[in-house]
Structure formats: structure tokens, C-alpha cells
Chains A and B, each alone.
With several copies, the nearest count.
Chain A
């Protein structure tokens, strides 16, 4: 007895194939959706902000007058923030990665640390803000200065650097380590002279990505208490400061008061996106340049 009637199957095939091409179109449109939003977003931001960008806008201090206002303070603040975040995450991230990949026995402790790091990566940034507020700004009495903000951000982006460094270190071929041990080098000499230099491009890529994450975050700094309404240009890591995203935030919510603030926010977004885009391009360049070397 025949269960499958091939006539029947053939007849239905048309509608099944139609469903398939329909689905394909829908899936494609869904994929495009995100990209269309991206284009609209960038278009909007450019349309609102581009004409406001000029040398004065970049070099002026903050002001309540949109015609005079500039983001020099936020640019300098962003720079100081990076100056804190970069070395701190680098040391903590790379140190952790070396420990996990080279020293830790593959046991409970290292898997505990790994689980911990992946959970840390999922903690909302605003909670890091609370940590920073409680520990750095208050308990250590730093106040809402660059150092407090930088340390908070460093912890926030730490998982990014740890994971990237781990991957980079793991990718260093074993034969290079063997060559070094074979010369009578100690473990630390081998790590310092062979493993780290070879893993450096990967580590740097991770670091840049982490930094670009850090200078795009807003919530932790707002929580730590950046006033950012009218604040002087910081001179060092013990000064109060503002950074580009925080500036965007205040200008956006104040745009109801002064409509031009929305343009200032858009112009600042353009600058922020350019900075991020440049950083990511550098990261990609490094990755591509040093990809296959052995």
C-alpha cells in the first residue's frame, strides 16, 4: 500500500516552495531591518549635528548658550578617563589571563574564576556605577573624579580584556614556549619574552575594544555623580570631569528647554561615533596585520 501519493506531493510542492521563497524574503527583510535602522540613525544624527561641528565646537568649554557651547572639556575628560582605564584594565586583564592560561591548574579555582568573569560580564553597568559610587567615590573618598570613574570603568570592561587576552595567549603556539624552555628559560622569562610579545596584537585588539566600550558608557558615570552641567576642563585624574556620552545625555534631556541642545547632542554623537569607529578600525587593522605569522 502506498502512503505517499507523489501526484499529491507534486501538487503541494508549489505552495511549499512559495512558502520557502516568501520566508527567504521575510528573513532577508528582517536582516535589513537592523541595517535600515542603522542608516536612519546615522542619517538623523548627521542631519541634526553635522552643521554644528566646527573648530569652536571642538575647542570651546561648556556653556548654557548653545552658540558658545563646546565639548573640549568632554574630549579632555574622555582622554583622562582612557588614561586611567587603559593601564588598569591592561594590568588586571592581562595578569588574570596569564594566570588562567599559564599558571592555574585546570581545576576548581580556575573554572571558578572563569565563571565569575563571565558573570561579571553580564552585570548591568549601572550596578558597576553603584559599586564605584560606594567604594571609590565614597569609601575611598575620591569623589566623582576621573580616577573613581576610571577605576569603575576598568572593572566594567575587565571581562573584555581578560577574554581577548586569554584567546591571544592560547593562540601562541606551544612550540614557541618549548623553544624558550629548551634554552633554559624559566617560565616567567618565557611568558615575558616569548608568549606576551606574540600575544600582544590580540591583547591590544581586546584593549582597544574595551576602551571603546568604556568611553561609550554613560550610566556608571552618571551614577557616580558627574554633574556635567557646567564643569571645568579637567587637569588630571583627581579632577571632576565629563565625557562625551554624559554630555550627550544632559544635552538630550535638556533639549526640551533649549531646542538647539538636541543639535549639540547630535553633533557630540557624531564626534563620539567617529572616535569609536576610528578605534575599532585600528583594532581590526592590528588583528588583520598580525593574524597569521607562524
Chain B
């Protein structure tokens, strides 16, 4: 059982420590009785989850269980699919984001997102990072310069790109592109960062870099990360939610999930019996 051996990973240790230090953190996202349908397909069933500030929350589960759907619901990106219907509540900082009066653009300004496949714009590196601030009305070149540098540093890619900020982002490697996307997301200083399998398209070394980055970022941001890689969840997350067929089977401290899961299905999954 590979998961057990991973438990000795130093990163995980750190995670555990910080976990304890912040036992009564504020709740940033509170999902209540969330149901979601794609047309007739019931993709999320009665989801109840309370996600804490300044933690890394991992979402795991077999393919098609609704992980991406859930995380996309948190910034209402899921609504780009025309057939979607949603019921229930998602409270973000106490306000129901599913409310009609809630502006998605405001929500998405506070909640950044990193996607499975790195998706930089076909523009220069600089323009990629400056995109968010610009659309939000920041035009001052000096401020933009500062933001770009700060964000790229924040995403631990500054040193690699500082000499070619004006080159096209598609010249970067996959791992660099993904960190650029993280920088792009940091540039508007979000409150929460959603990540949907951010490392699944990356090589092991790039993966490691991104994982380290996530660890750092959580000092400042709340992070919700979907992963199909259980070791990754174990390494970097504070809490883990296990999804199956659109339901949350178990949600608890990562430690607990991976050592003493309370549900038989969770155990089956993390020991590799299915999925």
C-alpha cells in the first residue's frame, strides 16, 4: 500500500502541523444540500461540505464521480454548460453564490481557478499575468509591472521567465505554463484558489514544483484541489473529501482519511481496489 509509505513525507508533516495550529479557522465555503443535473444526469447529489480558510482541501474520487463538476460549481463556471440545473446553497463568505443577484464576475474575481490542462492565452508572458488586473480596470503601467513581478514570484517562476516577459507563453514548457497560469490567477489576489487536477498534464519534476507552490500558497489563500493522485492528496492537503457517484462519501482530515477511513468504500478506493 503505497499510501502508507507516503505518510512519512516531510511535506505532509508540515501540513499536519499547520492543520493543528488552525483548528478553529473560519469557513470560507459552505455547501448545503447541493444537487446538480446535466440535463437528466444527476451529477451531484446532496453535497454538504464546509471548507476552511487557509487550508488545502483535496477532492478525490474515481473518474466521473463529479469532482470537476463540484469545483466548477464553486465559481459557477459549470453554468457554461447550457443544460445545467442546480439546487441547494453554496455560501461563500456567508453569501449564497447561487443567488441570482450574485454577480459571477465578482465571485470569480475573488475565487481564482487553475485548470487541468495549462491554458495560457496566446499572448506574451507579461500580458498573460496582466490580463486579470487589466480587465479589472488597472491601466497604470507601473502598477501592472509590480503586479506581474509579484505574481510571477508568487508562482515561483519569476527567475525562469524574467528575461523573456515579452515572449509568447506557448514557448514555455508544460510545467512552466501551469505555474504561469497560477501566477495569472495570483495577479488578481484571489481569496480562494480552485485547482482541477493541476498537475495531471505535467511531468514528475514540474508536479513537484507545483506541489511545493501549493504548500506555500496556502499561507495566504484557501486552496481547493481536485486530484486523481492519492499520494498527492496525502502529501499536500489538510482535509480530503472523497466523492463517489456524485456523493460525498467521507470528508475529514487527510491523515484520518488515509489511515483510518470510516467508510468501507473510501478504504476500497484508497487501497486501489477500484477507480
Chain A residues proximal to chain B, CB less than 8 Å: 2-4, 6, 8-10, 12-13, 16-17, 173-186, 189, 193-194, 197-198, 293-294
* Residue B146 lies at the interface, judged by CB distance under 8 Å to chain A: yes
* Residue B181 lies at the interface, judged by CB distance under 8 Å to chain A: yes
Q: Per-position contact with A for B112-125: 1 when CB-CB < 8 Å, else 0?
A: 11010101111100
Question: A194 CA to B189 CA in the complex, in Å?
Answer: 21
Interface majority SS (helix, strand, loop, mixed), chain A: helix
Contact present for B136 and A182 (CB under 8 Å): no
A-B pairs under 8 A by CB, number: 105
Q: How near does chain A come to B113, taking the closest CB pair, in angstroms? A: 4
When distances are taken between beta carbons in the complex, the residues of chain B under 8 Å from A194 are: 121
When distances are taken between beta carbons in the complex, the residues of chain B under 8 Å from A193 are: 131, 134-135
Contact of B181 among A8, A179, A181, A198 (CB under 8 A): A179
Contact present for B137 and A8 (CB under 8 Å): yes
Q: How near does chain A come to B103, taking the closest CB pair, in angstroms? A: 6
When distances are taken between beta carbons in the complex, the residues of chain B under 8 Å from A13 are: 103, 105-106, 109
Question: A294 CA to B170 CA in the complex, in Å?
Answer: 7
When distances are taken between beta carbons in the complex, the residues of chain A under 8 Å from B107 are: 184
Question: A273 CA to B108 CA in the complex, in Å?
Answer: 51
Contact present for A182 and B115 (CB under 8 Å): yes
Known contacts A178-B115, A293-B170, A9 near B109 by CB under 8 Å:
yes
When distances are taken between beta carbons in the complex, the residues of chain B under 8 Å from A174 are: 80
Chain A: CB-nearest residue to B194: A182
Chain B residues proximal to chain A, CB less than 8 Å: 75, 77, 80, 103-110, 112-113, 115, 117, 119-123, 131-138, 143, 146-147, 150, 170, 181, 184-185, 188-189
Contact of B109 among A3, A179, A184, A198 (CB under 8 A): A184
Contact present for A3 and B181 (CB under 8 Å): no
When distances are taken between beta carbons in the complex, the residues of chain B under 8 Å from A186 are: 105, 135
Contact present for A178 and B135 (CB under 8 Å): no
Contact present for A175 and B119 (CB under 8 Å): yes
Known contacts A9-B106, A197-B123, A189 near B135 by CB under 8 Å:
yes
Contact of A197 among B104, B122, B147 (CB under 8 A): B122
Contact present for A183 and B77 (CB under 8 Å): no
Chain B: CB-nearest residue to A187: B105
Contact present for B108 and A184 (CB under 8 Å): yes
When distances are taken between beta carbons in the complex, the residues of chain A under 8 Å from B150 are: 3
| CB-defined A-B contacts under 8 Å, sample of 21 | A4-B138, A4-B189, A6-B110, A13-B103, A13-B106, A16-B105, A17-B103, A178-B115, A179-B119, A179-B121, A179-B181, A181-B108, A182-B108, A182-B113, A182-B185, A183-B108, A183-B185, A184-B107, A184-B135, A184-B136, A193-B131
When distances are taken between beta carbons in the complex, the residues of chain A under 8 Å from B103 are: 13, 17
Contact present for A184 and B105 (CB under 8 Å): yes
Interface majority SS (helix, strand, loop, mixed), chain B: helix
Q: A13-B106, A184-B108, A184-B132 are in contact. List 13 more A-B contacts (CB 8 A).
A: A3-B138, A3-B150, A9-B109, A10-B106, A13-B103, A16-B135, A176-B119, A178-B115, A182-B185, A183-B131, A183-B135, A183-B185, A293-B170
Contact present for B115 and A294 (CB under 8 Å): no
When distances are taken between beta carbons in the complex, the residues of chain A under 8 Å from B109 are: 4, 6, 9, 13, 183-184
Question: A17 CA to B106 CA in the complex, in Å?
Answer: 11
When distances are taken between beta carbons in the complex, the residues of chain B under 8 Å from A198 are: 121-122
Among A173, A176, A183, A198, find the residue whose CB has the most chain B CB atoms closer than 10 A: A183
Closest 4 CB pairs of A and B: A184-B109, A182-B113, A184-B108, A175-B119
Question: A178 CA to B117 CA in the complex, in Å?
Answer: 11
Question: A243 CA to B77 CA in the complex, in Å?
Answer: 52
Q: How near does chain B come to A108, taking the closest CB pair, in angstroms? A: 16
Contact of B122 among A6, A180, A189, A293 (CB under 8 A): A293
Q: How near does chain A come to B135, taking the closest CB pair, in angstroms? A: 5
When distances are taken between beta carbons in the complex, the residues of chain A under 8 Å from B134 are: 193
Question: A180 CA to B150 CA in the complex, in Å?
Answer: 20
Contact present for A4 and B117 (CB under 8 Å): no
When distances are taken between beta carbons in the complex, the residues of chain A under 8 Å from B105 are: 13, 16-17, 184-186
Question: A182 CA to B113 CA in the complex, in Å?
Answer: 6
Question: A189 CA to B109 CA in the complex, in Å?
Answer: 14
Question: A4 CA to B191 CA in the complex, in Å?
Answer: 11
Contact of A183 among B112, B123, B137, B138 (CB under 8 A): B112
Contact present for A180 and B131 (CB under 8 Å): yes
Question: A12 CA to B122 CA in the complex, in Å?
Answer: 27
Contact present for B108 and A3 (CB under 8 Å): no
